[in-house]
């Protein structure tokens, strides 16, 4: 039996998903090496789902220390994890989710890593990092054909952004064919349909105030989902403050966010008077709603599976979760 063929144990374990995406997809997953940057509430959800899917290896890069608050919202930690290194503390429970996957903990700071570190992976998944690091990683990824996706949860708002470069995919479409008899129906045939999605590089997606070099890349779109600007505002808040909005400084943080949003609207030439966003939209961006982490963790892991397997239509390229209606929509930005 060759290296990349599935064993009987694996086909039994992964049976219910092989029946959905096929054995070739499963074999590609089995060869995939994934880097996960930061394993907090959202990160642990992503880790769970991709470990269960049956990848080859998962490297967890996180230099954080377990706090009481972190322990309470991360099911990969336990009571005695407090004060220890988070990347190492999740190992035991992460490994239990799937003993077949090789898991490695790396407690270095993501920002301290040499660019060449990021070359070695099939796909990189990042949460809770600043734009300069995102752009640095994206550059390495594009040069080395490594797929990249990142996302965050702010309160009940959530998003993800993908750069799968020039991504070829296929999907099975079922078509009705042949005779149509009254009682027996038509026979269905499955056709393999191929497609390509060309992702823009992240510096064309994350255009923020004061990154003038890119400002002329902004394409005005009247139908832009306004949650995209909320996403940019939150990213810019983190860039400026090196932290997420906090309930302890709620009023000030909301004011800062409003100011940032104003700048972003200006940059993107959005008429604020026509905005349909709630005036108090930033009320709901504090903390991380656990169920929203579960939703986004599912979405991001599914995109990882699509990126690795080349099966099914991936989200191109921004996913926005509406904190009020709970709609989850694709928004194509930067192309």
- Decide whether 189 or 210 has the Cβ nearer to another protein: 189
Task: Report the candidate in 126, 112, 121 with the shortest Cα–Cα distance to residue 141.
Answer: 121
Footprint on residues 13-52 left by another protein (CB under 8 A) = 13-17, 19-20, 23, 41, 45, 48-49, 52
Footprint on residues 48-77 left by another protein (CB under 8 A) = 48-49, 52-54, 72-75, 77
- Decide whether 97 or 133 has the Cβ nearer to another protein: 97
Footprint on residues 121-140 left by another protein (CB under 8 A) = none
Residues contacting another protein: total by CB under 8 A: 75
- Decide whether 25 or 267 has the Cβ nearer to another protein: 25
CB 24 to another protein: min, Å: 10
CB 175 to another protein: min, Å: 8
Confirm if 88 and 63 have CB atoms less than 8 A apart.
no
Among 57, 78, 211, 258, binds another protein (CB under 8 A): 78
Angle, nearest 10°, between helix axes 41-53 and 290-309?
40
Confirm if 152 and 223 have CB atoms less than 8 A apart.
no
Burial code (b: 16+ CB inside 10 Å, e: under 16) for 116-134 equals ebbeebbbbbbbbbbbebb
CB 287 to another protein: min, Å: 7
- Decide whether 39 or 267 has the Cβ nearer to another protein: 39
Footprint on residues 268-327 left by another protein (CB under 8 A) = 287, 289-295, 297-299, 301-302, 305, 312-315, 319, 321-322, 325-327
Q: Tell me which stretch binds another protein (CB under 8 A): 8-16, 141-149, 214-222, 263-271.
A: 8-16
The token pair that represents 32 in the structure block: 């995939």
CB 115 to another protein: min, Å: 30
Footprint on residues 82-101 left by another protein (CB under 8 A) = 93, 96-97, 99
- Decide whether 14 or 118 has the Cβ nearer to another protein: 14
Footprint on residues 171-230 left by another protein (CB under 8 A) = 171-174, 176, 181, 183-185, 187-188, 190, 195
Confirm if 60 and 88 have CB atoms less than 8 A apart.
no
CB 119 to another protein: min, Å: 27
Among 108, 109, 329, 335, binds another protein (CB under 8 A): 329
- Decide whether 229 or 319 has the Cβ nearer to another protein: 319
């Amino acid at each position: 039996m060759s290296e990349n063929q599935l064993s009987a144990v694996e086909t039994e374990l992964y049976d219910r998903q092989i029946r959905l995406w096929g054995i070739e997809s499963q074999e590609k997953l089995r060869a995939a090496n994934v880097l996960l940057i930061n394993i907090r509430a959202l990160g642990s959800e992503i880790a769970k789902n991709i470990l269960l899917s049956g990848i080859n290896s998962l490297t967890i890069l996180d230099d954080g220390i377990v706090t009481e608050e972190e322990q309470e919202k991360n099911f990969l930690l336990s009571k005695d994890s407090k004060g220890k290194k988070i990347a190492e503390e999740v190992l035991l429970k992460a490994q239990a989710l799937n003993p077949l996957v090789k898991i490695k903990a790396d407690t270095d700071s993501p920002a301290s890593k040499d660019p060449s570190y990021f070359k070695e992976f099939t796909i990189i998944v990042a949460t809770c990092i600043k734009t300069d690091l995102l752009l640095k990683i994206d550059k390495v990824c594009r040069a080395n054909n490594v797929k990249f996706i990142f996302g965050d949860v702010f309160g009940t708002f959530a998003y993800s952004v993908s750069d799968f470069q020039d991504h070829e995919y296929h999907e099975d479409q079922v078509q009705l064919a042949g005779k149509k008899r009254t009682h027996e129906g038509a026979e269905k045939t499955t056709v393999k349909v191929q497609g390509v999605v060309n992702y823009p590089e992240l510096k064309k997606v994350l255009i923020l105030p004061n990154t003038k070099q890119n400002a002329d890349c902004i394409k005005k779109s009247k139908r832009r989902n306004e949650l995209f600007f909320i996403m940019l505002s939150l990213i810019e808040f983190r860039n400026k403050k090196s932290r997420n909005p906090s309930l302890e400084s709620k009023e000030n943080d909301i004011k800062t966010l409003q100011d940032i949003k104003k700048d972003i609207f200006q940059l993107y030439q959005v008429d604020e008077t026509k905005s349909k966003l709630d005036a108090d939209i930033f009320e709901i961006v504090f903390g991380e709603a656990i169920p929203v982490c579960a939703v986004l963790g599912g979405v991001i892991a599914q995109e990882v599976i699509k990126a690795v397997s080349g099966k099914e239509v991936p989200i191109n390229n921004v996913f926005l979760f509406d904190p009020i209606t709970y709609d989850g929509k694709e928004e194509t930005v930067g192309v």
